[in-house]
Structure 1
Amino acid sequence: MKPEILFLKQEDVIKAGLLDMKMVLAETEKTFKMIGQNQIINPTKVFMGMPSNENWDSYCMSMPAYIGGDVDTAGFKWAAESKANAQLEGVPYGIDIVILSDPKTVFPKAILDGTITTAMRTSATAGVMAKYNALKGTKVACLVGAGVIGRTMIMAMMEAVPTLEKIHMVDLVKEKAEGLAKEFDGKIKVIPYTDVKEAVKDAQLLVTETTSRKPFIKKEWLKPNMTVIQMEGQSCEEDILLTADRVVLDNWSQMSHLVGILVHEMYEAGKLKKEDIVELPEMVNGVQVRQNEDQFVYCGSAGVGSVDIAIAAKLYENAKKMGIGQKLNLWDNPLWV
């Protein structure tokens, strides 16, 4: 038997619908619901920093998952980032791939570019958090970080928070924020900033998507009943999490043990326990987080591989119907069977 693998380069996954944020949001929420219903196996990601986990210049990370139910697919995402790439013209900071396998035969069935999927699902996870926890009638959001995920975060917030009227986009390089303002002109008003304190002043919703390794956002800058969504490890000072009325995390077992992020540091210091938080799968399956309009809600995510696998499975099915991608074989005649 000669198993067939469908190879989908970045242009192929885009043709298959990857930039459809409405679809990605739906798949993301469905995946978290399935996690909460025990239909998904989602082991903790394995992180390998080089030269070390604490002081990495580059890293590789393995994120396996099995999606049951109507998806019935196994796979893993190989996520990697390098500081050196920031100095290379035309090269992404992060380079990711996804491999899908048949769960019965374990034959590999698809290899997909996962780089843009990472940006889309990261923002979609924040979108799901915002959908459930943003204040009613939220009109102003402050987004911190105008990189690739800054772009997809605008897309996600536009879909998830339909009352949104303007976005304050913050970046140390103002030209990057200005570029996104131009890109979304006519779709939503995006105002560029370089100062978080000034940008967040009128916002009801704060979303961070930076590469910072040090906290820089202070609790006193924030409204007492706003929603904060932190999509990386270190932008918020710990008081923001410590004083929150409600805390939502995408995956407690992973975030409490992932070196280099705020949640892990607070867990190790005895300042945060599992009973202090609600997990995202619980939330989308009916546990109410925001109970009134006066509460301060903190949401955090480090990303779960099952969301990447679920989206990749959807793109794979779309690609097959559309007849796109390149067909490969792992062998012609397997040796020593």
Structure 2
Amino acid sequence: MEELRFLYLKQEDVIEAGVLDMKRTIKDVEEVFRLYAEGKVVMPPKSPIDFYDNDYRGHIISMPCYVGGDIDVVGIKWAAGFPKNPMRYGLPLGIDIIILSDPHSGRPLVIMDGTIITAMRTSAVTGIAIKYLARPDSEKVALIGAGVIGRTTLMALPYCMSNIGEVRIYDIKLEKAKSLANEFKERLPISVVRSLKSTVMETDIIITATTSTNKFVKSKWISKGSLCIQVGTNEFDENTVLSADKVVVDNWEQIKDYRRSMLAQLYKEGRLRDNQILELPFIVAGKQPGRENSSELIFFDSFGMACEDIIVAYRIYRNAVRKGLGEELELWKRPLWK
């Protein structure tokens, strides 16, 4: 075979192929966590490039990964995150591309939009964290951030909580919070709260999904036995982390080397040690303990793992092939050199 063709999937194709199925996305991510814990995932560290003007402007990250087991696919996500995009350029904050290849020949299989995949798998991880780390009787949720990840977080909650009594949502842009709450008012008992402190206090699960670089959630607001989920980089104060009974991450090796992360800073200062950290994939696989009693304060930091993207993208690719979606592109008719 000399001609080499691959599939191209635009965002509309990815949607038609089932990317918005949160229940299945949670299942995918749980599966890849188990494969990771079993040593069947090869995932080099992320390679970030941060851009600065006077302040942080944004980043582009290269995220390669091989997922073994029954999946057996290799891929890479090229992930751009520029917080000022919506205001400056009318573009999403995140713009991601995913490439999948055959791990036996290196042949490219597909190039696809990865933007929605990122949002879906990010909140699938939040859902899995709730499943394994929250108290089973948790009812009250505080969600801080009404952006894209706020939306997918709300999509995930029904699949990881048995009894949702109240969801409080806060955003510094009140109209965004109101709009998102209105979108989900028929599905969740959701209300907009104007005070950050009131959003957090006396809740069971606190989820932060913002681009803020300020540590705006105070430990004194947090109840005993709560689960704190940090989806952004630096949203809880240091005392929340240092006073937690368990500190859980998705991948510690990547986090502790990421200089903008508060956890990395605490590690560098010697205030957080390797032996204090648990990893969610190993908890899912039953190799590390999750929540052990109702009084534990647990802090979870979600940094994002390439394997999450690759397993979801592979499902989307297979669905697209089956449905005849996308456009076939030609890399060459005949290679110049062999």
Q: TM-score range by the shorter chain?
A: over 0.9
Quote the Cα distance in structure 1 between the aligned partners of 2:79 and 2:182: 30
**Residues 173, 194 of structure 1: 8 Å contact kept:** no
Equivalent in the alignment of 2:303: 302
State the Cα distance separating 1:200 from its structure 2 match.
1.3
Q: Deviations over 1:179-225 (max 9, x none)?
A: 11110121112111232211112311001111011211110001011
Moved more, 289-298 or 155-164: 155-164
Distance 1:150 1:86 in 2: 16
Cα offset for 1:42? 1.0
For structure 1, the 5+ residue unaligned runs are none
Question: Following the alignment from structure 1 to structure 2, what is the Cα–Cα distance between the partners of residues 81 and 9?
Answer: 19
Partner of 2:319: 318
Q: How far does residue 88 in structure 1 lie from its aligned partner after superposition? A: 4.0
Deviates more, 1:184-193 or 1:139-148: 184-193
Aligned residue pairs: how many? 336
Q: Which residue of 2 aligns with 1:60?
A: 60
1:89-168 to 2 correspondences below 5 Å:
90-168=90-168
Same amino acid, percent of matched pairs: 38
| Partner residue, 1:48 | 49
CA-CA distance at 1:124 after TM superposition? 0.6
CA deviation profile, 1:28-80 (whole Å, cap 9, x unmatched):
1111111000000011100001248x943132100000000111000000000
SS at structure 1 position matched to 2:332 = coil
CA apart distance, 1:85: 1.2
Match of 1:191 in 2: 191
Residues 1-337 of structure 1 aligned to structure 2 (within 5 Å): 1-51=2-52, 55-88=55-88, 90-286=90-286, 287-337=288-338
Question: How far apart are the structure 1 equivalents of 2:73 and 2:191?
Answer: 42
Uncovered stretches (5+) of structure 2, i.e. residues with no partner:
none
2-side partners of 1:29 and 1:332: how far apart? 40
Using the size of structure 2 for normalisation, the TM-score is 0.97
Q: Distance in 1 between matches of 2:299 and 2:40?
A: 27
Q: Is 1:255–1:301's contact at 8 Å kept on the other side of the alignment?
A: no
Instruction: Measure, in 2, the Cα distance between the counterparts of 1:119 and 1:3.
Output: 31
Secondary structure of the corresponding residue to residue 187 of structure 1 = coil
Looking at structure 2, the residues matched to 47 and 23 of structure 1 have their Cα atoms a distance apart, in angstroms, of: 29
Whether contact under 8 Å (2:168, 2:199) holds in the other structure is yes
Q: Which amino acid aligns with 1:244?
A: A
Residue 186 of structure 1 aligns to a residue whose secondary structure is coil
Tell me which moved more, 100-109 or 75-84. Answer: 75-84
Cα separation, 1, equivalents of 2:27 and 2:291: 21
CA RMSD of aligned residues (A): 1.3
Deviations 1:118-163 (A, max 9, x none): 1111111111000111112211100110000000001112211121
CA drift of 1:336 comes to 2.4
Please tell me whether the aligned partners of residues 7 and 111 of structure 2 are also in contact (alpha carbons under 8 angstroms).
yes
Secondary structure at 2:259's aligned position in 1?
A: coil
Q: Which amino acid aligns with 1:6?
A: L
Aligned 8 A contact 2:73 2:101 in 1:
yes
Amino acid aligned to 1:271: R
- CA deviation profile, 1:208-256 (whole Å, cap 9, x unmatched): 1110112111100010110101112100111001000011110010010
- Secondary structure (helix, strand or coil) at the match of 2:236 reads coil
Distance 1:89 1:56, change over 3 A: closer
Instruction: Give the CA deviation at 1:166.
Output: 2.1
The runs of at least 4 consecutive aligned structure 1 residues that moved more than 3 Å come to none
